[in-house]
Amino acid sequence: MRISLPTPNLPKPKLPQLRLPAQLERWRRAVGGAQSHSSELLPFDPWLLLASAALILIGFVMISSASMDVAARNFGSASFFIVRHGSFIVMALIGALIVSRIPIRFWERYGVLLLVAGFLVLVLVLIPGIGREVNGSRRWISLGPLNLQPSEIAKVCMVLFMSGYLVRRLTEVRSGWWGVIKPAFPLALYVFALIMEPDYGATVVLVGTVMGMIFLGGMRTLQFLIVVVVAGTLVAALAVAQPYRMERLKSFADPWADPYGAGYQLSQAQIAFGRGEWFGEGLGNSVQKLFYLPEAHTDFVYSVLAEEFGLIGSLLVCGLYALLIARIFLIGRQAEKQSQFFMAYVAYGFGFIIAGQAMINIGVNVGALPTKGLTLPLLSYGGSSLLVCCAMLAIVQRIDYELKRLRLAAPAKGRPRQRPAPGGEV
């Protein structure tokens, strides 16, 4: 016999409400009804942050794998490059946090001074006793444990100056030749200093970036085509002006014609891609990094990645770069829609730099381009490249933040004016 007892009518317990961190909670309240896009709830672009972090982490893993044997032989410690690159990542992240707190109007106000500073560091590296020469090129300035590469800083300075110039002289750029010719003078000084190092790869990226920014600024199509022809002719003349560049072009055309000489790097990189096949040999199982492929942890880290993770891993990295660059250009497009043209051109310029370096480095690794000596952004070993890339991405994140604040400050239809999140910094 069962006896059923009456169930007491107890009040339901109240679950504690989860709270966001204070800064994010203030931002969520500020956006109010802007719930249609989840990215609007955050004071940064989540996809840009995700792609950047993924590439940095992949780069750290691949540098660890590619450098251990070389470090053990040359420095007596397999973790030499791992520790150094780890410290570069920490420095880059701290630098990015500092840069992200600087308002965009600061870069616009001091664009001309930044242009002069960029040229001075390019000249400084050419002075004997200050510039450090490696393999016949004087491209670095030794600052203790960090070798500063002035060309990386110079590209950022040129983009910031050109962005301000396009804002001030946009009518001239769109109406005639004089507005297009003016920025050619400071660009020529930068190119001359880069050729003196010599740094042919940085020259190509810098010229391409400036041309792309002017084109997006509203340059006429016919003018753009004429400038492309002239610039292409000058670049070709520079390519054939030095014997070592001609050797690189010949080895690029057929690296297997001299696989133990001029075509050694390209042929070894192609062997790495062939060994990787679809899914790779597995992390740490690369053979080409064992003193076959020169600069395996710097210029040719993508070849080691392809050998260890195959075609699938290589395409994944390309997809991350596509996502990163697309987000940068979309932020620039949004700035243009909000009539924040300086922010737009800065984002476009940084997008061109990262896209250009990534395409050239990957093109060299797969044998589609002659060797240039450019690092793969966020992935190759190198303190200067990592620091500058993280600084550029921090500025783009700052642009995204300020654009959101401007949208929130604008009066919305059907609801009272919303106040932006307190504080001017992320």
Taking the CA atoms of 85, 265, 367 and 277 in sequence, report the sign of the dihedral they define.
negative
Q: Is residue 420 part of a domain?
A: no
Q: Is residue 146 part of a domain?
A: yes
CA torsion, points 321, 327, 330, 332, in degrees to nearest 10? Answer: -90
Q: Is residue 30 part of a domain?
A: no
Q: What is the pLDDT of residues 294-318, one digit of tens each?
A: 777 788 888 889 988 989 999 999 9
Q: Round to whole Å and give the CA distance between 406 and 423.
A: 13
Single-letter code of the amino acid located at 307: E
The count of structural domains within the chain is: 1
Task: Give the domain range for residue 134.
Answer: 43-406
- Position 270 scores a pLDDT of 80
> Angle 172-161-406 (CA atoms, 0-180°, nearest 5)?
90
Q: Is residue 207 part of a domain?
A: yes
Q: Is residue 132 part of a domain?
A: yes
Whether residue 21 is preceded by a cis peptide bond, meaning omega within 30 degrees of 0, is no
Cβ atoms of 205 and 374 closer than 8 Å:
yes
Q: Is residue 191 part of a domain?
A: yes
Q: Round to whole Å and give the CA distance between 121 and 149.
A: 9
**Predicted model pTM:** 0.83
Residues in the chain predicted with pLDDT less than 50, given as ranges, are 13, 15-18, 20, 31-36, 413-426
Q: Is residue 10 part of a domain?
A: no
- Position 34 scores a pLDDT of 41
- Position 39 scores a pLDDT of 61
Q: Is residue 33 part of a domain?
A: no
Question: In whole angstroms, what separates CA 386 from the centre of its chain?
Answer: 8
Pick from 173, 161, 158: which is nearest to 227 by CA? 173
Single-letter code of the amino acid located at 134: V
